[in-house]
Structure 1
């Protein structure tokens, strides 16, 4: 959940710090007080684009900092953190996001102190925060997103089939790409063959051997340090084996200790150790002598090595590969040349592979379609119930599959496979009996749109794992019992995720677990202030929302009754 947000020099906010808790937090206040500015700040934490207009007048920069706590160590936010190598402490479960916008328009993003790009922040933010405003509602109504929502509803049931299909689809695309490359015009193929032949001949003539450059560099090092190696080995040998040197003295010591073996068993053990060391050094001396005998200074060989290494390094620079990679590259070029020289037979072979790949992909796509059909039935029933709870009992919801006719028959070669399979999906609804089903975005009434969106959100909030859901005046255009139903539905969503809600409805405010009042102070320069309300102050604020003017004793009692009713509904 979003535990804390600190905002400084942002729009008409000087500096505020808010602590949030689980459940439903409501933010209320007069129009223009700055409620939506706080949501704008939270949106920046979720990866929204920044504007220099957000920086308060005469300030150098605007700063927003948010602290999130996540208890679930398998949460998708942690996967994003690991993917982009961001600092992470799963035991503490905290994520700190910072946004700084300078007066010159530069934007700085940080996660747990590490600088990141806006794209990475957006990737992480979508796992933490889900913001719904009237604009975002229209985004939810976008038919292109509906297949994502359907798949997410029962993603575990679809996961295996989707992964299998994506592998088959990717393989099919690679085969088609190869077919297109082989089918290019003759001039392009001829040019490609000339290039491959030239590169292959150049590498083949060089007669490269695996690890050759490393061996040559080692040999060059020996030749360039011949005198140093000779002197070192010779000095070592002389010190060990020359007259009156190490081995001679060790021999005398060994003889002296042998004479004590029959005196004490301890001396016998010491004698054995000395003999072992003596023979080890003697053998080492022989090895050094052999190395000295084998040493040979070859100035011509050094020239040969330098010339060969120069040629190898030239090829490495030209092709940007190491010697072993160049050898593998030659094999690939040889294979491609063979395919180009025998293009027709390879095209026939590819055609057969493409047909088989299409057959496999279409079979799996059809299986995926059948799974989606069953899931769509479950989703329809669930959303239908949510709509009924929101007094849209006459409404009918449906999931439309715009698949091509005959999709089950994979022999129909006119079928176009899509990244998501065969299905193009959109959600349809009608709110009045007798009227035809329409796409969601064609529903006219603002109040209906709000309720439909809330019904959909109620379903998907249980599955998405978003830590904080934010509603920005999505209850516009409703009143009475519908407002009460919306309030109840928003509070129910707060059982699955923390909910922050900006509202003008007293029914929603009465359902709050935590209530903040946002006001605009115009004494001196304009500034937005935020105050967490006590129980009595919350009743007064609900009363103001009911009356719109001064809170009378009657209004106060009405607000009290509304909050009591809300507590009963919550329980």
Structure 2
């Protein structure tokens, strides 16, 4: 959930900090007080497009910061791993957005600078914003297959993963086939280049790990004096009269003389003897090392020359000798492919055909799951629409196979086109008037109907999407009466599964709030300021009363407001 929101020098807001709680939080206030500006700020945290117009007049930058608390199983943990952002065990994610008066946008996630695109990935995992006027993902036909798959639950994921594994192989192989079969001139030029590169690599006669071994040998030759002096000093500290080994021998002999009279000293004597012989062996090794040391300037020159040659090749073919050897192996295979193009093309055609048919079988499994889930989804949506007094509305999930070309793989004798998510084209269709044909969701015209349809869909999908905070910005525009009450109940229902923040002018929605925040605007020293105040129960009743009358409070409207609050409490208990 969104726990804390801090905004500074943003539009008409100079500085504001709001603490949010679980459940349904409703923001109310006069038009122009800054309610939607707060939602705009949250939208920027989710990766929305910024503008210099957001920076408060007379200041250098606008700053927005949001603190989110999440569970250990939240999808954002995978997003963090993908983009290298640490998310601590406390489950806290801080999104920060700064917009300068020069129009520069700076994004941070948990203190790490990120691009706007990366911030959008985090934001979409945490925040789902809905408004009356913006195009919603629920209304986007391209997103409907994704939403249906989310609704399908655990049955879908393993099948989709397996399909995409096969599909990726199929796509890569088709791309390679196209490259190999098209444009003879490019292939001839490619062959010349690869043969030149292979000759250059083969003539270098590189050995595995050669660069590491040469670098180590060069290091020893360049530090010959230091190595020789170290071995020399160590050896003559141990070997010779009155040196280390001489004193160890004396200590060993002294302890041996007491070993037969004291059992404890016998153990020490044995350990001393072992230590003496170990040091003696070490002395012999130092002597051999010192005798073997030889400084060869010619060898050093040879190594330098060879490393220079390897470094020249690394700039073209790989960071290490092993990388270059692997590259040589790859281009050798590609040269063979190009020279024996016809046989390779025949082989690839067979592989493409087999992979295509495997992918179609996996896609058919996805199609069957979606078809089964579509019926259940339609049933749930109809129930939600009835609750919202759209009982005559008809909803359907339209699933069609993507028609392919003759060269595409076949399903039941008909070619189908393989897509990243299968072979299905999914669209949500609806009609709100009996006798009218089903139309695509985004083509439904009435604003009031659109609000209810969106809420019905959101009520279903919010259980499956895993979004931390759902935000509604005046989605209840254009409704009243019993429909307003139904919308209030649906919004509250969504808040049972995730935190909901809602800007509303409907008293029914405000009455349903677990937390009611009033946004107020005041003018000090000829500057506009915005403030947020969490209301007590009595203050809630007064605010709802103002929302009913739009003017002064009366006993009747206050009583009506308290009645709405009582009804809301009863609904929550049910």
What is the TM-score normalised by the length of structure 1?
0.91
Question: CA 1:242 to 1:372, structure 2 compared with 1: closer, same or farther past 3 Å?
Answer: same
Q: CA deviation at 1:228?
A: 5.5
Q: For 1:452 and 1:465, how far apart are their aligned partners in 2?
A: 20
Preserved contact between residue 317 and residue 323 of structure 2 (Cα < 8 Å): no
Q: For 1:568 and 1:253, how far apart are their aligned partners in 2?
A: 94
Q: CA deviation at 1:480?
A: 1.3
Q: For 2:427 and 2:478, how far apart are their aligned partners in 1?
A: 25
Aligned to 1:89: 88
Q: Deviations over 1:426-461 (max 9, x none)?
A: 111111111111111221211111111111011111
Q: For 1:442 and 1:209, how far apart are their aligned partners in 2?
A: 67
Q: CA deviation at 1:254?
A: 5.6
Question: CA 1:323 to 1:411, structure 2 compared with 1: closer, same or farther past 3 Å?
Answer: farther
Q: CA deviation at 1:504?
A: 1.6
Q: For 1:538 and 1:162, how far apart are their aligned partners in 2?
A: 48
In the alignment, does 2:309 pair up with 1:311?
yes
Aligned to 2:204: 206
Q: For 2:239 and 2:570, how far apart are their aligned partners in 1?
A: 102
Q: Which of these residues, 377, 387, 390, is aligned with residue 388 of structure 2?
A: 390
Q: For 1:541 and 1:263, how far apart are their aligned partners in 2?
A: 100
Q: CA deviation at 1:90?
A: 2.6
Q: Which of these residues, 492, 505, 530, is aligned with residue 528 of structure 1?
A: 530
Q: Deviations over 1:460-492 (max 9, x none)?
A: 111122222111111111111111111111111
In the alignment, does 2:498 pair up with 1:497?
yes
In the alignment, does 2:547 pair up with 1:545?
yes
Q: CA deviation at 1:240?
A: 5.0
Pick which of 221-230 and 501-510 moved more.
221-230
Question: CA 1:392 to 1:252, structure 2 compared with 1: closer, same or farther past 3 Å?
Answer: closer
Aligned to 1:460: 461
In the alignment, does 2:59 pair up with 1:59?
yes
Q: For 1:229 and 1:564, how far apart are their aligned partners in 2?
A: 89
CA-based RMSD = 2.7
Equivalence map 1:374-389=2 (5 Å): 374-389=372-387
Equivalence map 1:335-414=2 (5 Å): 335-404=333-402, 409-410=410-411, 412=413, 414=415
In the alignment, does 2:84 pair up with 1:117?
no
Question: CA 1:41 to 1:233, structure 2 compared with 1: closer, same or farther past 3 Å?
Answer: closer
Q: CA deviation at 1:184?
A: 2.9
Q: CA deviation at 1:339?
A: 1.5
Q: CA deviation at 1:425?
A: 0.9
Question: CA 1:455 to 1:337, structure 2 compared with 1: closer, same or farther past 3 Å?
Answer: same
Q: For 2:221 and 2:432, how far apart are their aligned partners in 1?
A: 91
Aligned to 1:560: 562
Q: Deviations over 1:126-170 (max 9, x none)?
A: 122211101235553121111111111123210011000101110
Q: For 1:297 and 1:20, how far apart are their aligned partners in 2?
A: 74
Preserved contact between residue 469 and residue 497 of structure 1 (Cα < 8 Å): yes
What is the TM-score normalised by the length of structure 2?
0.91
In the alignment, does 2:172 pair up with 1:174?
yes
Preserved contact between residue 138 and residue 441 of structure 1 (Cα < 8 Å): no
Preserved contact between residue 23 and residue 499 of structure 1 (Cα < 8 Å): yes
Aligned to 2:41: 41
Aligned to 2:153: 155
Q: CA deviation at 1:216?
A: 2.8
Preserved contact between residue 380 and residue 398 of structure 1 (Cα < 8 Å): yes
SS, match of residue 109 in structure 1: strand
SS, match of residue 16 in structure 1: strand
Q: Deviations over 1:74-111 (max 9, x none)?
A: 112233234333343333x3333322222222223333
Question: CA 1:125 to 1:301, structure 2 compared with 1: closer, same or farther past 3 Å?
Answer: closer
Aligned to 2:318: 320
Question: CA 1:294 to 1:386, structure 2 compared with 1: closer, same or farther past 3 Å?
Answer: same
Question: CA 1:518 to 1:344, structure 2 compared with 1: closer, same or farther past 3 Å?
Answer: same
Q: For 1:363 and 1:508, how far apart are their aligned partners in 2?
A: 49
Q: Deviations over 1:282-337 (max 9, x none)?
A: 44444444445544554443443333333223222332331122222222222221
SS, match of residue 135 in structure 1: coil
Question: CA 1:258 to 1:338, structure 2 compared with 1: closer, same or farther past 3 Å?
Answer: same
Q: Deviations over 1:55-81 (max 9, x none)?
A: 2221222222222222x2111223323
Aligned to 1:74: 73
Pick which of 144-153 and 519-528 moved more.
519-528
Q: CA deviation at 1:182?
A: 1.4
Q: For 1:522 and 1:538, how far apart are their aligned partners in 2?
A: 24
Question: CA 1:276 to 1:398, structure 2 compared with 1: closer, same or farther past 3 Å?
Answer: closer
Preserved contact between residue 137 and residue 453 of structure 1 (Cα < 8 Å): no
Aligned to 1:428: 429
Pick which of 21-30 and 427-436 moved more.
21-30
In the alignment, does 2:187 pair up with 1:185?
no
Q: For 1:300 and 1:56, how far apart are their aligned partners in 2?
A: 71
Q: In the comparison of the two structures, how many residue pairs are matched?
A: 569
Pick which of 514-523 and 360-369 moved more.
514-523
Q: For 1:326 and 1:57, how far apart are their aligned partners in 2?
A: 58
Pick which of 2-11 and 217-226 moved more.
217-226
Preserved contact between residue 256 and residue 269 of structure 2 (Cα < 8 Å): yes
Pick which of 208-217 and 37-46 moved more.
208-217
Question: CA 1:338 to 1:399, structure 2 compared with 1: closer, same or farther past 3 Å?
Answer: same
SS, match of residue 424 in structure 1: strand
Q: For 1:265 and 1:535, how far apart are their aligned partners in 2?
A: 88
Preserved contact between residue 431 and residue 438 of structure 2 (Cα < 8 Å): yes
Aligned to 1:197: 195
Q: For 1:229 and 1:285, how far apart are their aligned partners in 2?
A: 16
